[in-house]
């Protein structure tokens, strides 16, 4: 029996390690990876960056490209890893549509961490490696992000999917092999 194509989503709040985990899975499995943040950064490099409003506008354009790339892989009968927050009900809707349309298996890797640890990682990243186009300089976004992201734990997206929850509060304790075992590819 031929196995279904996989739509593997790696989600979680800000600074929980989505890029690190999704890159690892991609490297170990050879499955293509699509990252919302990386698409957004390419668009900044092409279109420039200005302020937070511009960043949000670029984010909307990046989201469209993100979904189209995921769908492209699924249309071709190829599994794909998608890396984004996946915090919103609207995400559940389009993911379920893709699963039905392409007869794909949805697998969710959900990352969680102590919100204050994620906040500290976010601040460190904003001050060091974060692309400036995100315009998430600390003085302009911390009140918003404290309320939306760092004041609570976020739950996995409620979807019909095998779900593996990983606490990344202490990244040194993340069992990467267990992630691959869970995927069972």
Please state the rounded mean pLDDT for residues 104-129.
93
45 domain-assigned: yes
- C-alpha closest to that of 62 among 50, 47, 72, 52: 47
Q: Supply the pLDDT for residue 2.
A: 61
Please report the beta strands in the chain, taking only residues with DSSP state E, as ranges in sequence order. 6-12, 32-35, 80-83, 105-112, 162-167
If 0-12 CB within 10 Å is exposed, 13-18 middle and 19+ buried, where does residue 185 land? Answer: middle
User: How many domains does the chain fold into?
Assistant: 1
Domain housing 47? 6-183
12 domain-assigned: yes
Asked if pLDDT for residue 133 goes beyond 80, the answer is no
Round the average pLDDT of the chain to a whole number and report it: 92
DSSP labels, 5-18: PEEEEEEESTTSSH
1 domain-assigned: no
If 0-12 CB within 10 Å is exposed, 13-18 middle and 19+ buried, where does residue 74 land? Answer: buried
- CATH assignment at residue 52: 3.40.50.300
Between 75 and 52, where is the model more confident? 75
Asked if pLDDT for residue 118 goes beyond 80, the answer is yes
79 domain-assigned: yes
Stretch (H or E) spanning 118: helix 115-127
């Amino acid at each position: 029996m031929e196995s279904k194509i996989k739509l593997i989503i790696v989600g979680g709040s800000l600074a929980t390690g989505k890029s690190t985990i999704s890159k690892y899975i991609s490297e170990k499995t050879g499955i293509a990876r699509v990252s919302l943040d990386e698409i957004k950064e390419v668009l900044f490099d092409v279109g420039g960056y200005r302020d937070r409003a511009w960043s949000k506008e670029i984010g909307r354009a990046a989201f469209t490209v993100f979904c189209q790339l995921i769908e492209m892989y699924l249309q071709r009968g190829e599994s794909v890893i998608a890396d984004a927050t996946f915090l919103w009900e609207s995400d559940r809707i389009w993911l379920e549509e893709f699963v039905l349309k392409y007869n794909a298996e949805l697998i969710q890797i959900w990352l969680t961490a102590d919100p204050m640890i994620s906040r500290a990682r976010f601040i460190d990243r904003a001050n060091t490696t974060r692309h400036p186009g995100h315009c998430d300089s600390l003085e302009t976004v911390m009140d918003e992000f404290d309320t939306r992201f760092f004041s609570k734990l976020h739950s996995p997206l409620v979807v019909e999917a095998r779900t593996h929850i990983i606490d990344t509060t202490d990244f040194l304790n993340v069992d990467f092999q267990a992630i691959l075992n869970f995927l069972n590819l």
